[in-house]
DNA sequence: CTGTTAGCGCTTTCAA
DNA sequence: TTGAAAGCGCTAACAG
């Protein structure tokens, strides 16, 4: 079953079938119709591999992430795919699993499939692998790392603004003693968030209590332990900001364990706005890092590079926004 | 840059290059070495599309799921991919988003890519789309739905056994008044679990209290509300079994809200064992439905069909296992 | 063991 | 507007 059979049934040449499939405007409406009917009756599906080979275009974008089981990524993948499929493109997803060998495999797969561009949404990526891609003139877009170059764009997340809006939210509610639970310090994005917190507090002239920052691990258990430590201090914070939502969930558990109520006794703010955050009890106030927005931007960045004459990359910025839910409230008077 | 350039540099024919790439044993070790070096220096990556076209094999399996943001799936996807990549196969992932139109697109993509088999891990799938695949002799494997046929295998989850082991666990701890929070009743798997619970209780001669079963929605909010209702009853259960882990998380929140402790005042058991369950406070005792096992089995099922002469499908069974953590304990004496 | 060559199914000039 | 035919890069007979 192939394009020739369709051509035969429709009594046209294979070229004409190809043209109608690809929506060329140089085919009579009625010829098109005949071809379409032939395709229909034969239940013909054009062979993507042959199409890619014949045209030299894969109609496929690569998406490299570190780990699909990290709750940050599924929504990103979904949005990326949604938009791509809408535009008739496919997505080749690859997990690096934080593993060097897997990274090489991922890049090799992209190269072998001749993808039209790659969105690299993990900060851990070897320089030489990037070269491998970029030297072949494959458009690249990075999340949260590197700087624009020829053929390479970047999406930077304005963590400072995100943390700022959270701190401001708490300040308005009357909180002055605010704690912070960071992510693991070996993670760049975690360090950036921590720094943003410290600077935001300074800017707002809020006192940074001694020991008001604890390190978590971006998982619930880390958040739980860090919060427990925070609650054991002399000066208990009346509100706590966390480096991601999972940490916030863990922190909430630790707070309940002490018999305290949220937000009556203490307010909690997360970061990321993963899907679950809307369903915790109380629903988590958090800083949204729109995965849909990131995905859209990434795809656009890739296409912009393709279209552009110079191929020069651009830096795009994502502004996080505050999602007010029920885990924050005014300080107990 | 193609196989011919490599051939030229290595001073062999393209066939020999192809043979070494494909690990044929009919090439001298030294010739192989020469070719490998040529590949290395040219940084040559064989074009997958051309390979697929030339050989007639795509070396790719399709994986259809309903929604990657459902926490059940990421681990499944990861395991499936891990095993496939290990075997030199690729995976084409497709989300149906519970949408009929998307389902058609998903199937069309599989057909267009000429995949070697499709694992359909979502119960919602139109009959005519299945025919579309199976009439083309594409091996299929379903999770938790349908029966084996020619070219179609099935993986059935032994929910009854899973629920049974959970109930038994609670009975041993001294619980006799056990509640159940089900999933949404319009979901087959949720109905099956609910039924399994009722039957297990009967089998163990445990009294099913009036109103001891509440309906949730497989999300935290539903679990929270259902648990709140359960706690409002005259006869409070001393333990509660839930239809999935998310429901259990919600239930735990409701219990804390009442000022009760887990497992001191009430034991909670989940179902699925998603990654988060190990990190809640207390860590959730739950019935594990190993996604890794499902993924491996699915891939094996596909390959078994390919290899088999008759192509007759088989029914495989998955046994859930109890993971004892800290959300269950003996009844208060 | 290695080379020659005819496809795989589609796209895309170039002619008509 | 349509058709003929030459590839796209690789694989797999078939020869040698």
- Show me where the domains of chain B are located: 3-46, 59-157+290-319, 159-289
pLDDT number for residue B309: 84
Alpha carbons A105 and A120: distance in angstroms, whole number: 14
Q: Nearest residue to C9, CA vs C1'? A: A50
**Is residue B174 classed exposed, middle or buried when 0-12, 13-18 and 19+ CB atoms within 10 A define those classes?**
middle
For residue A207, the distance in angstroms to the closest alpha carbon of chain B comes to: 31
Total residues found in chain A within this entry: 333
Residue A55 approaches strand C within 7 Å at CB = yes
Q: E strands, chain A, where? A: 60-65, 90-95, 117-120, 140-143, 152-157, 178-182, 213-215, 239-242, 267-272, 285-288, 315-318, 321-323
**Taking CB atoms and an 8 Å limit, are A50 and B46 in contact across chains?**
no
Alpha carbons B319 and A29: distance in angstroms, whole number: 57
Query: Which of A49, A78, A109 minimises the CB distance to B49?
Result: A49
Structure tokens, A225: 């332990």
Alpha carbons A186 and B35: distance in angstroms, whole number: 42
**Taking CB atoms and an 8 Å limit, are A48 and B113 in contact across chains?**
yes
Give the architecture (CATH level 2) of A3-46.
Answer: Orthogonal Bundle (1.10)
Query: Shortest CA–C1' contact from A29: which nucleotide?
Result: D1
Strand pairing report for A321-323 and A285-288: antiparallel
Compare A210 and B21 and report the one with higher pLDDT: B21
Please say whether the structural domain B159-289 has been given the CATH code 3.40.50.970. no
For residue A263, the distance in angstroms to the closest alpha carbon of chain B comes to: 12
Residue given tokens 């009579």 in the structure block: A28
Residue A21 approaches strand C within 7 Å at CB = yes
Residue B11 approaches strand C within 7 Å at CB = yes
Alpha carbons A14 and A25: distance in angstroms, whole number: 16
For residue A330, the distance in angstroms to the closest alpha carbon of chain B comes to: 20
Phi-psi map region of A249: left, alpha, beta (phi>0 left; psi -120 to 50 alpha): alpha
Residue B49 approaches strand C within 7 Å at CB = no
Q: How many CA atoms lie within 13 A of A311 on its CB side?
A: 12
Task: Give the number of other Cβ atoms within 10 Å of residue A206's Cβ.
Answer: 16
Among chain B residues, the shortest Cα distance to A51 is held by: B49
Q: Do domains A3-46 and A59-157+290-319 have the same CATH topology?
A: no
Alpha carbons B248 and B244: distance in angstroms, whole number: 7
Rounded average pLDDT over A85-99: 92
Contact A22, A36 (CB under 8 A): no
**Å separating the CA of residue B306 from the C1' of nucleotide D12:** 21
| Alpha carbon distance, N-terminus to C-terminus of chain A | 77
Rounded average pLDDT over A310-327: 95
**Å separating the CA of residue A187 from the C1' of nucleotide D12:** 50
Strand partners, B314: none
Structure tokens, A82: 């949604």
For residue B76, the distance in angstroms to the closest alpha carbon of chain A comes to: 9
Its sign, for the CA torsion A96, A136, A79, A324, is: positive
**Å separating the CA of residue A112 from the C1' of nucleotide D8:** 15
Provide, as residue numbers in chain B, all residues whose Cβ is less than 8 Å from the Cβ of A95.
78, 81
Alpha carbons B59 and B71: distance in angstroms, whole number: 28
Residue A239 pLDDT grade (very low, low, confident, very high; cuts 50, 70, 90): very high
The tens digit of pLDDT for each residue in A269-293 reads 999 999 889 888 889 999 999 999 9
B142 preceded by a cis bond (ω within 30 of 0): no
Stretches where chain B sits below pLDDT 50 are none
The tens digit of pLDDT for each residue in A18-76 reads 999 999 998 999 999 999 999 999 999 999 999 999 999 999 999 999 999 999 999 99
Query: Please, what is the angle between helix B48-55 and helix A48-55, to 10°?
Result: 130
Element containing residue B125 per DSSP (H, E): none
Mean pLDDT score of chain A: 94
Strand partners, B95: B65
pLDDT number for residue B279: 85
pLDDT number for residue B333: 62
What is B254-320 written as a DSSP string? Answer: HHHHTT--TTTT-EEEEEE--GGGGTSSSPPEEEE--HHHHHHHHHHHHHHHHH-SS-B--EEEE--
Residue A333 pLDDT grade (very low, low, confident, very high; cuts 50, 70, 90): low
Residue given tokens 């008739």 in the structure block: A88
Quote the percentage of chain B above a pLDDT of 70.
100
Please say whether the structural domain B59-157+290-319 has been given the CATH code 3.40.50.2300. yes
């Amino acid at each position: 079953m192939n394009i020739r059979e369709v051509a035969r049934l429709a009594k046209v040449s294979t070229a004409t079938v190809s043209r109608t499939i690809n929506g060329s405007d140089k085919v009579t409406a009625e010829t098109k119709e005949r071809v379409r009917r032939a395709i229909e009756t034969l239940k013909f599906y054009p062979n993507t591999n042959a199409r890619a080979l014949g045209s030299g275009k894969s109609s496929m974008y690569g998406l490299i992430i570190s780990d699909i089981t990290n709750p940050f990524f599924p929504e990103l993948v979904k949005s990326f795919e949604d938009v791509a499929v809408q535009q008739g493109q496919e997505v080749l997803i690859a997990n690096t699993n934080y593993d060097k060998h897997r990274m090489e495999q991922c890049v090799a797969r992209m190269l072998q499939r001749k993808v039209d561009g790659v969105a690299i949404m993990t900060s851990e990526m070897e320089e030489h692998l990037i070269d491998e891609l970029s030297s072949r003139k494959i458009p690249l877009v990075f999340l949260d790392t590197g700087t624009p170059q020829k053929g390479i764009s970047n999406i930077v997340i304005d963590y400072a603004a995100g943390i700022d809006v959270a701190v401001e939210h708490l300040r308005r509610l009357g909180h002055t003693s605010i704690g912070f639970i960071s992510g693991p310090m070996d993670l760049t994005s975690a360090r950036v968030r921590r720094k943003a917190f410290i600077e935001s507090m300074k800017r707002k002239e809020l006192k940074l209590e001694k020991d008001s920052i604890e390190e978590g691990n971006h998982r619930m258990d880390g958040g739980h332990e860090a919060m427990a430590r925070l609650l054991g201090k002399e000066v208990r914070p009346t509100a706590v900001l966390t480096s991601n939502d999972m940490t916030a969930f863990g922190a909430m558990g630790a707070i309940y364990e002490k018999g305290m109520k949220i937000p009556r006794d203490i307010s909690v703010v997360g970061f990321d706005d993963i899907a679950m955050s809307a369903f915790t009890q109380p629903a988590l106030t958090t800083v949204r890092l729109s995965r849909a927005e990131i995905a859209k931007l990434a795809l656009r960045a890739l296409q912009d590079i393709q279209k552009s004459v110079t191929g020069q990359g651009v830096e795009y910025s994502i502004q996080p926004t505050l999602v007010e839910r029920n885990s924050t409230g005014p300080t107990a008077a």
